[in-house]
């Protein structure tokens, strides 16, 4: 990172330090017991709440415990099981495509490399980063709607392109904190820096926030 970015790097570190104190229990909100379960749950969570996904995955994974089981599932039965998550036809087809690749090409085990994961149909960098960071303990920044909103409001990143936001945050945060940054920014977005009516009054980083200084504090 260039020396010119050092002030932003210090700001980013201060933000994470404060958010750590505010959200010590920050985590992702999908329930899972294995990399496969997390990958499938993340696919199902597209345009759906984590809470709703968590309601259907226990029965789903009990019925289909392995990638091979999911790949060979009756499509109509699988669709009915994932129906509550919305876009159930597309999601069930995507889950089966991905699980077929995992079963046939990776001995039933979810690969732990970004490039390999993102070559799978419908697995973007955000989904892959969630799996790598949470299931495999690899440093990874997952830019979901919360991370995107919070990081742009704070002035750490700009624009709407998730890949560019990810690259910018990767410049500002040390690699050792990438996964934790995802958890902290996500929790802050869910609990305080909400899409509508953010609770700026109780935000621990409002003095470091471009959105607050430009829109609220004036």
Those residues whose C-beta lies under 8 Å from the C-beta of residue 110, and which sit 6 or more positions away, are: 34, 35, 36, 39, 67, 102, 117, 131, 135
105 & 51 share domain: yes
Are 120 and 69 contacting, i.e. CB atoms less than 8 angstroms apart?
A: no
Are 171 and 117 contacting, i.e. CB atoms less than 8 angstroms apart?
A: no
CATH number at residue 199: 1.10.1670.10
pLDDT-flagged residues of the chain (< 70): 1-4, 217-218
Q: Is residue 118 part of a domain?
A: no
Distance CA 174, CA 177 (A): 6
Q: Is residue 117 part of a domain?
A: no
16 & 63 share domain: no
pLDDT digits (tens, 9 = 90+) for 116-153: 999 999 999 999 999 999 999 999 999 999 999 999 99
39 & 11 share domain: no
198 & 148 share domain: yes
Q: Is residue 133 part of a domain?
A: no
Helices (H) and strands (E) in the chain, counts: 12, 0
Q: How far apart are the first and last CA of the chain?
A: 33
197 & 148 share domain: yes
152 & 88 share domain: no
For the chain, give the number of residues: 218
pLDDT at 1: 47
Q: Please give the structure tokens belonging to residue 14.
A: 């201060």
Are 177 and 119 contacting, i.e. CB atoms less than 8 angstroms apart?
A: no
Those residues whose C-beta lies under 8 Å from the C-beta of residue 49, and which sit 6 or more positions away, are: none
- Which of 67, 90, 109 corresponds to the end of one domain? 109
Catalytically active residues are: 126, 144
Count how many domains the chain has: 2
Q: Is residue 128 part of a domain?
A: no
CATH number at residue 69: 1.10.340.30
Q: Which domain holds residue 78?
A: 35-109
pLDDT at 217: 63
76 & 100 share domain: yes
pLDDT at 3: 56
Q: Tell me 133's DSSP state.
A: I
Q: Is residue 86 part of a domain?
A: yes
Are 136 and 173 contacting, i.e. CB atoms less than 8 angstroms apart?
A: no
């Amino acid at each position: 990172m260039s020396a010119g970015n050092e002030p932003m790097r210090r700001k980013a570190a201060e933000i994470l330090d404060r958010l750590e104190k505010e959200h010590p229990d920050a985590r992702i909100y999908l329930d899972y017991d294995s990399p496969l379960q997390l990958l499938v749950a993340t696919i199902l969570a597209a345009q759906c709440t984590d809470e709703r996904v968590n309601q259907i995955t226990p029965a789903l994974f009990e019925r289909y415990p392995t990638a091979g089981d999911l790949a060979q599932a009756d499509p109509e039965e699988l669709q009915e099981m994932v129906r509550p998550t919305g876009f159930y036809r597309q999601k069930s087809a995507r889950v089966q495509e991905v699980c077929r690749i995992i079963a046939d090409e990776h001995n039933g085990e979810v690969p732990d490399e970004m490039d390999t994961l993102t070559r799978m149909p419908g697995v973007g960098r955000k989904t892959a980063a969630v799996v790598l960071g949470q299931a495999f303990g690899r440093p990874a920044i997952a830019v979901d709607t919360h991370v995107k909103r919070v990081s742009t409001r704070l002035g750490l990143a700009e624009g709407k392109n998730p890949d560019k936001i990810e690259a910018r945050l990767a410049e500002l945060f040390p690699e050792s904190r990438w996964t934790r940054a995802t958890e902290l920014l996500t929790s802050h977005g869910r609990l305080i820096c909400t899409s509508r009516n953010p609770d700026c009054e109780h935000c621990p980083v409002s003095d470091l926030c471009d959105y607050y200084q430009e829109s609220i504090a004036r």
